[in-house]
């Protein structure tokens, strides 16, 4: 079955300073990428003949811009990625093709690139499945059936709204999966609009050019707040989701006042 598949790097004008360092690492780690690569933004184009820039126009809200970008991309299957998720290990194109073929054969809607949260079951050694009603089964990044993603997006939502409320909207649908191990490694280099210190250091060590006139490096209280938030999230996400729901229901009952 032939692959009709593309890669979308989702971004916006205010993150245009990330494009050069992102693609510097992208092409280092995915030499001779055989798939068309799109960059989604608002009004600013990226000058690189290997990239197809898709513009949404004025940035009214995240989901509206995202939908406008998706409507301009013809492929039924996409790998959606973010400009601040820098790829740090080689990408195997044959593995990517295998996951797209799996989507075609199993009518999958979405495959998360790593198992966070852990799956409800495994259908093969490296692909897990998320059951109906599972929280956080919809993630912005990952492999998507384009038309399903378009229908899932509601105007006015942020990425965080989408991953919570969008997951609720998928509650009765099949076709949600995750991968372990992940197909490649990456680092999330920006939090709250600032560079994560250790990942900024990674870029310096690997000769990746960074424009510090656009955003600063996290430091002081905000740096430690970010570290604690990540530790909290990583701990909570490891709790089985049904147990988490029970605990949340208990907490709701405890704090309700009449």
Output the pLDDT for position 3: 85
pLDDT of residue 234: 54
Give the number of other CB atoms < 10 A from CB of residue 213.
7
CATH classification number, 5-215, choose in 3.40.50.2000, 3.90.550.10, 3.30.420.40, 3.40.50.1000: 3.90.550.10
pLDDT in tens, 65-83: 999 999 999 999 999 999 9
- Give pLDDT, residue 192: 87
Residues of the chain with pLDDT under 70: 1-2, 220-258
- 152 within 8 A of 63, measured Cβ to Cβ: no
- How many CB atoms lie under 10 A from the CB of residue 250? 10
Q: Which residues of 185-207 are buried (b: 16+ CB within 10 A; e: fewer)?
A: ebeebbbeebbbeebbebbeeee
Distance CA 65, CA 72 (A): 11
pLDDT, residue 256, reads 61
Burial tier of 255 (Cβ tally within 10 Å: 0-12, 13-18, 19+): exposed
Q: What is the pTM of this model?
A: 0.86
pLDDT attached to residue 219? 85
CB-count exposure of residue 96 (10 Å: 0-12, 13-18, 19+): buried
- Domain boundaries defined on the chain: 5-215, 219-258
Specify the pLDDT at position 254: 66
Residue 224 is predicted with a pLDDT of: 45
Judge contact between 184 and 169, C-beta under 8 A: no
User: 220-250: per-residue pLDDT in tens?
Assistant: 555 445 554 555 455 555 666 566 556 656 6
């Amino acid at each position: 079955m032939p692959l009709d598949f593309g890669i979308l790097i989702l971004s916006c004008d205010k993150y245009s300073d990330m494009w050069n360092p992102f693609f510097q690492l992208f092409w280092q780690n995915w030499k001779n990428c055989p798939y068309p690569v799109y960059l989604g933004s608002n009004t600013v184009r990226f000058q690189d003949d290997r990239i197809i820039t898709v513009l949404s126009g004025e940035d009214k809200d995240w989901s509206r811009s995202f939908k406008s970008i998706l409507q301009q991309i013809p492929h039924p299957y996409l790998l959606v990625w973010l400009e601040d998720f820098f790829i740090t290990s080689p990408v195997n194109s044959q593995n990517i093709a295998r996951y797209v073929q799996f989507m075609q054969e199993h009518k999958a809607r979405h495959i998360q690139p790593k198992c966070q949260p852990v799956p409800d079951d495994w259908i093969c050694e490296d692909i897990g499945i998320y059951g109906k009603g599972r929280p956080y089964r919809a993630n912005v990044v990952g492999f998507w059936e384009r038309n399903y993603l378009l229908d899932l997006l509601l105007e006015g939502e942020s990425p965080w709204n989408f991953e919570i409320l969008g997951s609720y909207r998928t509650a009765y649908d099949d076709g949600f999966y995750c991968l372990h191990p992940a197909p490649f490694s990456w680092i999330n280099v920006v939090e709250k609009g600032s560079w994560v210190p250790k990942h900024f250091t990674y870029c310096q060590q690997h000769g990746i050019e960074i424009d510090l006139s656009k955003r600063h490096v996290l430091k002081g209280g905000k740096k430690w707040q970010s570290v604690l938030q990540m530790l909290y999230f990583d701990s909570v996400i490891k709790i089985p989701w049904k147990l988490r729901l029970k605990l949340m229901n208990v907490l709701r009952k405890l704090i309700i006042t009449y």
